[in-house]
Amino acid sequence: MFAMINNAFSIALKEIRRNLTRAFLTVLGIIIGVSSVVTMVTLGEGTTEAVKSQISSLGSNLLMVRPGAGFGPRSRSAGVPDFTEADVDALLRQVPGIAAVAPVRNTSTSAIYRENARMGGVTGTNPGWFEINNWTLESGRFFTDDDLKKGAAVCVIGQTVVDDLFADEDPIGKKIRVGKASVEVIGTLKEKGQVGMGDQDDTLVVPLSTLRRRLLGQTSAHDIGMISISAEDGVDSDWMIENIETVLRERRNLQDNQENDFSVMDTRQIAETLSSSTQVMTTLLATVSGVSLLVGGIGIMNIMLVSVTERTREIGIRLAIGATAKEVLLQFLVEAITLSSVGGAMGIVLALGFCTLLAPMIQVNFIFNTQINIIAFIFSAVVGVVFGFAPARRAASLDPIDALRHE
């Protein structure tokens, strides 16, 4: 038995060396399949991880209220009114446990300083917003309640905006043109970094009153697209959500039989929503690359079918000379397993190479996932054995003379 296995190995390796092109093509199919599966799943996981870590950097006791049911990417249904400033005040007064609340109105416009210009979002809010979103200052100051009351022409900017508008200059005290208004930069924010869902530092904040008076003009009392709330430590967020909902339902005149026309979410729920959507993406990528693994397998099958005549004759010769069907099959099995494991291993190495290269480019961490590597490797071995071994089984069951006559 040992001698038989030993023999099968030496014959199989000889056959591989003798037909390097065939071996190369077989291995190539597996390499492509395995490397794409491993790359996609690894990067997908990295993305999920990045999103999660970013969400936890938002702070654990943050709540967001938005008009419209559902909390997907802007799933605001038509006709649902935004919030008013009175809603915000009511929440602060009536809901216990609120540490800070900030109305948020967003718009998008140009910002110009001398010859530098950019297009981007502008946020109008109150001073509590900085605390709620965990911002710290790089230089200058935040705007104050006084600024808010007066509608002062001031703004605070993130590092991306600093880089866009001010080359080497100190931004503090400089006047920039935002839309049609001229505002003074009074503070810059410390960098938060660019993780997962977009650039946090691409931020330009003005007092809400300034946004209304100087930039947009107020058309309706219902102009607040989002309310950010931070809860005091130790407050149960489900309880808080319930209270917020009660207050808002009353203020929005909803009957008992009507659904909420707004939604409240805390950071945990946001995290779940976002990571479940990235998981969907990962699954999708895995499916796509699973298909490419299958295509690789079909490629292998093709090569095997093309060479089946020659291989059937080879089997006929070996049988005629006194090899048993079992010995021949063992040889083919060893060949198939060798090629597909070499292919699988090379695919994994290639994938890890891709990942180390690509992960920094798309700004995710490279997380080595043992499981997917093992799965891809086993799958490649199975593919190789099934497609490489099946034709040999048929040939080895023939009488030698029939195998020799095969054409």
Q: How many CB atoms lie within 10 A of CB 234?
A: 7
Among 13, 226, 333, 404, binds other proteins (CB under 8 A): 404
Nearer to other proteins by C-beta: 103 or 400? 400
Tell me if 317 contacts other proteins by CB under 8 A: yes
Nearer to other proteins by C-beta: 319 or 339? 319
> How many degrees, rounded to 5, is the angle at CA 196 between CA 195 and CA 200?
50
Residue 70 gets the label, from left (phi > 0), alpha (psi -120 to 50) or beta, of left
Helix (H, G, I), strand (E, B) or coil at 102: strand
Helices then strands, counting H and E runs in the chain, come out as 13, 10
Question: Shortest gap between Cβ of 310 and other proteins (angstroms)?
Answer: 7
Question: Shortest gap between Cβ of 393 and other proteins (angstroms)?
Answer: 13
What DSSP element (H or E) covers 118?
Answer: strand 116-125
Question: Shortest gap between Cβ of 319 and other proteins (angstroms)?
Answer: 6
Strands 98-113 and 226-231, sheet pairing? antiparallel
Tell me if 300 contacts other proteins by CB under 8 A: no
What DSSP element (H or E) covers 376?
Answer: helix 370-396
Nearer to other proteins by C-beta: 3 or 119? 3
DSSP 216: I
Among 66, 192, 252, 318, binds other proteins (CB under 8 A): 318
Give residues with Cβ within 8 angstroms of 338, minimum separation 6: 12, 13, 16
Tell me if 284 contacts other proteins by CB under 8 A: no
How many residues in the shown chain lie near other proteins by CB under 8 A? 26
Nearer to other proteins by C-beta: 68 or 316? 316
Nearer to other proteins by C-beta: 177 or 313? 313
Tell me if 5 contacts other proteins by CB under 8 A: no
Among 1, 78, 321, 361, binds other proteins (CB under 8 A): 321
Distances, alpha carbon 262 to alpha carbons 65, 258, 259, in Å: 7, 12, 9
Among 11, 122, 148, 383, binds other proteins (CB under 8 A): 11
Among 1, 3, 78, 361, binds other proteins (CB under 8 A): 3
What is the footprint of other proteins within residues 322-361 (CB under 8 A)? 322-327
Among 9, 19, 184, 346, binds other proteins (CB under 8 A): 19
DSSP 215: I
Tell me if 400 contacts other proteins by CB under 8 A: yes
Tell me if 320 contacts other proteins by CB under 8 A: yes
Nearer to other proteins by C-beta: 291 or 401? 401
What DSSP element (H or E) covers 41?
Answer: helix 20-57
Segment interacting with other proteins, rule: CB under 8 A, options 6-14, 173-181, 264-272, 374-382: 6-14
Tell me if 406 contacts other proteins by CB under 8 A: no
Instruction: Give me the torsion for CA of 145, 148, 154, 157, rounded to 10°.
Output: 70
Helix (H, G, I), strand (E, B) or coil at 252: coil
Give the length of the chain: 407
Tell me if 1 contacts other proteins by CB under 8 A: no
Tell me if 394 contacts other proteins by CB under 8 A: no
Q: Counting beta carbons within 10 angstroms of the beta carbon of residue 407, is it exposed (0 to 12), middle (13 to 18) or buried (19 or more)?
A: exposed
**Residues of this chain that bind other proteins (CB under 8 A):** 3, 7, 11, 14, 18-19, 310, 313-314, 316-327, 399-402, 404
